[in-house]
Amino acid sequence: MGKRDDLIAKYADDLKNKCGMEPDMALLTKVTIGCGPAIYNDDASTVAGSQASELETVKTNFLMKKLGLPDGPNLMEGINSVIEVYGKSERNKYRAVVYYMLTKHFGKEAVYS
């Protein structure tokens, strides 16, 4: 197993144990690959759930550009609900896990097929 496979296993563990979800491994793998080299950088691999600027970046770059969702209050509501599920007190909110949950939340799995 390579480093990416190890990270995907860690993300799947977070989804199961911290978010109470059974991960779709094929989708999780595609979302992780879609994050690119950011997953290997300690700072870029996580989402700062309490920073408004960070959440705005997730909204613009992921939800609107990658998933093709139109701007609206529902996008930030979706982000906030995902952060809530992951656990506000959880220090390391992995970007791939947040993106995976957002993809599921908005029913945009087809973007990765």
**What's the pLDDT tens digit per position in 45-87?**
999 999 999 999 999 999 999 999 999 999 999 999 999 999 9
Q: How many whole angstroms separate alpha carbon 36 and alpha carbon 81?
A: 24
Q: Is 3 helix (H, G, I), strand (E, B) or coil?
A: helix
Q: Phi, psi at residue 46, to the nearest 5°? A: -120, 160
Instruction: Match domain 3-112 to its CATH number in 1.20.120.350, 1.10.238.120, 3.30.70.260, 3.30.420.40.
Output: 1.10.238.120
1 pLDDT above the threshold of 80 = no
User: How far is residue 95's CA from residue 98's CA, in Å, rounded to a whole number?
Assistant: 5
Which percentage of the chain shows pLDDT scores above 90? 94
Report the distance separating Cα 108 and Cα 63, nearest Å. Answer: 10
The string of DSSP letters for 36-81 reads GGGGGSTTTTB--TT-HHHHHHIIIIIIIIIS-PPPSHHHHHHHHH
Lookup: tokens for 27: 């989708």
For 4-26, the pLDDT digits (tens) are: 999 999 999 999 999 999 999 99
- Tokens 């197993």 -> residue: 1
